[in-house]
Chains A and B, each alone.
Chain A
Amino acid sequence: MARKVVITGLGATTPIGGDVPTMWKNALKGVSGAHTLEDDWVAKYELPVHFAARASTPATEVLSRVEAKRMDPSTQFAVVASREAWADAGITDIDHDRLAVAFATGIGGVWTLLDAWDTLREKGPRRVLPMTVPMLMPNGPAAAVSLDLGARAGAHTPVSACASGTEAVHMGLDLIRSGKADVVVCGGAEAAIHPMPIAAFASMQALSRRNDDPEHASRPYDRDRDGFVMGEGAGALVLEAEEHALARGARIYAELAGTSVTADAYHITAPDPEGLGATRALKAAMFDGRIQAEDVVHVNAHATSTPVGDKPEYTALKAALGSHVDNVAVSATKSQMGHLLGASGAVEAVLTVMAVYDRKAPVTINLENQDPEIPLDVVTSERALPGGSIVALSNSFGFGGHNAVIAVRSV
């Protein structure tokens, strides 16, 4: 019998709230974190997209100046979210050799990398800061969290584009089940609202161009969706072996019942139109958690608001849940906070845990004309979830054909 793993701490810093209580209140209400960018580089580089969803509380307002200076913005978000999660878990006595970190990012320290390149070209190699390498490396967030909490059972960085955050939760479950750790701080962080990634995502036609109306640009499942909205921030969860949590009398939010990761091996960016990889991931996570389709009451969908991405997820949900898919309350929270790339799965894991714990599904905004080809029961106003034992799923898919799914069960 595999070790049971529970969730005992949550943290987040996002475009709709700088901590979990604020984010959750807004997620149930339905707000938009997307706004016009005021930066001079938008006009300077004639970017085709003029808006994004910035973190509502800048990390530099939370961290000390000296701390922030030595961290890329992505690492700053990771440290802010993981400190909240750690404090929330209330662990006072821990064997640090049994505490691990699995903290993901999609891109890594892109601000640091490109700032250093500008410095090199404008001022020469002597002016490239000595902290550049530790700040730009993609394992920077995991390393900083490990250093901050004294986690010595390994600091890992799953990188699978927009599935990274969910894959980190999957890895956290594995670390505890396999006996390598008793407690894992897992999550994901991203800070890529920089002109180059905006230009690159725009160039592949992935971003919404609704420049005159940013608040209504992210509209998963809507007939008139035209791309995703860049977001930034981090989410963090404290996973704990059940016996460890019970021994210290911890408040348990939910059980992390099952997880899975699959690969499409179909196309480098396009999702498999039949959603076969996603279907296998859903079925595997349900099998892993001994979950029947009828147990599932809520799905936090990947649903980025791109014309091609939203439909295959529906196909996969239908294949995995059968006719029960019609009874499942589906939330597309990227409608509110945009797409946090490698952090999105971690933040959505936090929202999924809160949904199970609070028995409420968060809201999908901007759904005016639902795409008739995606007849899901989409939650558009706060909705109560049923009592009894319930399960919620959260999906993430990433460029490269990565599919990751987690299943959260009430306790």
Chain B
Amino acid sequence: MASNEEILAGLAEIVNEETGLAPEAVELDKSFTEDLDIDSISMMTIVVNAEEKFGVRIPDEEVKNLKTVGDAVSFIANAQA
């Protein structure tokens, strides 16, 4: 079980690896598409890497609901609970 802070830090690391964005730019209120300029292919790569890192399953139909970094952190935290 990871805390929300740990999930955010882990997610920031995955986003950095995929896009080169600085980890500190990956904040809870940031939109993946609008603020972080992440395209759908990168988003799917981030999702799959997050599944492996946090040991959760993020269904494809759920991905479109993960608009902000905070949405993803909450989903992962709930899925782990």
The answer to whether the Cβ of B51 comes within 8 Å of any Cβ in the partner chain is yes
Mark out the residues of chain B between 1 and 59 whose CB falls within 8 Å of any chain A CB in the assembled complex.
18-20, 41, 44-45, 48, 51-52
Total interface residues on A, CB under 8 Å, equals 10
CB of B20 within 8 A of CB of A131, answer no
Q: What A residues does B41 contact at CB under 8 A?
A: 130-131, 134
Of A64, A69, A130, most B-chain CB atoms within 10 Å: A130
B53 to chain A minimum Cβ distance, whole angstroms, is: 12
A contact face: mostly helix, strand, loop, or mixed: helix
- The answer to the question of A247 belonging to the interface, with a C-beta cut-off of 8 Å to chain B, is no
- Determine if A66 and B20 form an interchain contact, defined as CB atoms under 8 angstroms apart: yes
Tell me how far the C-beta of A237 lies from the nearest C-beta in chain B, rounded to whole angstroms. 31
Which residues of chain B have C-beta atoms less than 8 A from A127's C-beta? 48, 52
| Residues 146-182 of A at the B interface (beta carbon under 8 Å) | none
CB distance from B77 to the nearest CB of A (A): 21
A270 contacts B by Cβ under 8 Å: no
The answer to whether B45 touches A129 (Cβ under 8 A) is yes
With a cutoff of 8 Å between Cβ atoms, the chain B residues found around residue A130 in the complex are 41, 44-45, 48
A126 within 8 Å of B (CB atoms): yes
* A65, CB-defined interface residue at 8 Å: yes
CB-nearest residue of chain A to B58: A126
Distance in angstroms from B75 CB to nearest chain A CB is 16
The interface residues of chain B lying within 8 Å CB-to-CB of A65 are 20
Name the B residues within 8 Å of A129 (CB-CB): 45, 48
Q: How far is the CA of A64 from the CA of B19 in the complex (A)?
A: 11
Chain B positions within 8 Å of A126 at CB level: 48, 51
Min CB–CB distance A160 → chain B (angstroms): 30
Chain A residues with CB below 8 A from B48, complex form:
126-127, 129-130
Interchain residue pairs A-B with the least CB separation, the first 4: A66-B20, A130-B44, A130-B41, A130-B45
A interface with B by C-beta (< 8 Å): 64-66, 69, 126-127, 129-131, 134
